[in-house]
Structure 1
């Protein structure tokens, strides 16, 4: 019954309002016909009787009846206008009350989510003092003859006004194994000390049109001019030093800044951000995210948090509730490194997982084997898509791979074939940045 009222209530209100407006326009035409006919007949009869007595007296009676009729008509129209105005004021008041209740509900949801994060047994404060405590002992061993004094602290949160030019390498996925772990560690500490983590973006395209639908953000550490350490090279060391949360915080800060600057752009592209279990229980991360979502509820659907499937399978109940709470506020999630598409759809929908990423290698292997394996994988993909969960094939490197994947009828693809990870704004013109929801000066 409540659902029917919620669905039909606004329609009935609009109908009543239209009826009131029609009554206001018709005025005295809404009077009962019997009363109108009786009044006209009585006035005519009186005027005829007065005409037998005296013509001036009849004219005086005619004027008197006309004046009374005008007064009654004006009073009736005023009454209808008052009723219509009262109805409109009541409608506005009801709408305001509903809006206040909705805002109160959103506030309660945000406070409940904050309490869950605060009361989580696995809650950990980020080791904020770790960097400052360790920095004095490490400054003397900076690689490449660098010194912190040569780099004045930037007033911007992540990057300077103009990004450093990127020098494309022959092999964009250059191996940085020639850098020792100690040098990589120094580079990480230096980047976090200066709050200068560079952000790269890679497009996720809609197939078969090959139009950019999303962007995935990556945090990278600058190793030398034009060359940046990928996450696969520095993340393990950052986790050892408990600095991975710092990197995630800076990446989130940059993403939220870009979302705010592109809020005025229509149909701007959403952003995928990689997060880990520890990120969701990080107090600074969640506080910054919840404050942003509370103030910019309309931008929340453009945030897609990416989690590894193995982390999702092993996630405790408290963190799953945090995921569901973020989904309630408008954010969504994506499963990365999926080993298979045979996933419980009900769980994905309950915890607001809207996308599943699977490597093209797994799809190509199933296509080569054919038979039942290909049929089962294709059926699982169609089941996910039928329930509103998009399947994204990743690491598509060549046109040959794309041709071999045509039988899967893919809707989304990501890989070097569609665009390599690049420094945000380095190669994009201003017009392209606007269409994609990326500002050229947002880096």
Structure 2
């Protein structure tokens, strides 16, 4: 099977060889498909063995192959008996289709930009959110596209690790102690906390970073089946000195009830509720309810997506603690000074 925990010491295990053998589960639908395409193959006990001389040939063989079941494949390089990679057919197709972006993810050609976060009461820097960018000259690849491709190709966990590595490296090089770094974590990484902890704290020690300067942002884009288990895991991170934040409150499954149960150090409010909050009574009631919960629990509240002075002033008027957004500062390769309204 595809590595559940990416083997960062053997990146070659993620690459598709230029030529070799494809092994695919033997089903009647696959046999009919291969016969219809007049492909050369050998029938084994449980698989079909299909030779290919180029990746383009491999893609031509599999691109229209039916996925009526969760077909599993393995690819072997020419002249070798070991498997380079094993993964579902759907992921193999996407690995070839998005080969350039897959190489970016695997190679770690990534860096981290800084978006400032201020204390609302005095407009002073509190920290920076670390935002993923590529290190390709003259090529701007949207981070959303990278994560979409990573999801399609089964490289989501690897990209999450690479992004975290880039964020910690950039933090060590460019930020002083005492300034917070807000770093995104995928829910899957948080749940696989033993591996995640080992990898993350190895980097923290390598770069001589104080855990107290880090805040891990968790956004639950899928329904939380066991919110109390998630609360326990977040508690482990907090016990190690790292702050935790619930991201995008009000969006998806990040609800007020979830906030009450998880009781993180920080909560970041989805920009939908911040946009024109100075003019919208419904949004104001939601924000005030958040502030009431925060007042009872000691949670720091951060407004995301501030784009107008009026939004910042409203958030300040209700006692919100922190803010970020284009009005305050755009993501940049260097942690720039704050020029409100001037970025």
Output the TM-score relative to the length of structure 1: 0.49
Q: Which residue of 1 aligns with 2:329?
A: 419
Per-residue CA deviations over 1:173-221 (Å, capped at 9, x if unaligned) read: xxxxxxxx98993332222343211211211111142222111112223
Moved more, 299-308 or 314-323: 314-323
Q: Please say which of residues 313-322 and 194-203 is displaced more in the overlay.
A: 313-322
* Secondary structure of 1:392's aligned partner: strand
1:2-401 alignment runs, 5 A limit: 124-126=4-6, 132-137=13-18, 185-222=98-135, 225=138, 227-260=139-172, 265-267=176-178, 269-280=179-190, 281=192, 284-291=195-202, 299-311=210-222, 313-315=224-226, 318-339=229-250, 342-343=256-257, 347-349=261-263, 353-364=264-275, 367-370=278-281, 374-375=284-285, 377-401=287-311
Task: Give the structure with the larger strand fraction.
Answer: 2
Secondary structure of 1:396's partner? coil
- Of structures 1 and 2, the one with the larger relative CO (CA 8 A, separation 6+) is 1
Do the aligned partners of 1:208 and 1:411 also contact (CA within 8 Å) in 2?
A: yes
Distance 2:181 2:97 in 1: 27
For 1:266 and 1:286, locate their aligned partners in 2 and report how far apart those are by CA, in whole Å.
Answer: 21
Shift, 1:362, TM fit: 1.4
- Structure with max Cα Rg: 1
Specify the SS of the correspondent of 1:305.
Answer: strand
Name the SS of the counterpart of 1:247 in structure 2: helix
Q: CA deviation at 1:293?
A: 5.9
Q: Secondary structure at the match of 1:125?
A: coil
Any gaps of 5 or more consecutive residues in structure 2? 20-53, 57-93, 338-343
Q: What CA distance in whole angstroms lies between the structure 2 residues aligned with 1:299 and 1:245? A: 24
Instruction: Give the structure-2-normalised TM-score.
Output: 0.62
Aligned-residue Cα RMSD (Å) equals: 3.8
> Is 395-404 or 209-218 further displaced after alignment?
395-404
1:417 to partner: Cα distance: 0.9
Which one has a larger percent helix, Structure 1 or Structure 2? 1
SS class of match (1:368): coil
Shift in alpha-carbon separation, 1:182–1:261, aligned structure 2, 3 A: closer
Q: Is the 8 A contact 1:135 1:189 kept in 2?
A: no
Instruction: Give the whole-Å Cα distance in 2 for the aligned partners of 1:125 and 1:191.
Output: 19
Contact kept, 8 Å, 1:126 with 1:283, in 2: the verdict is: no
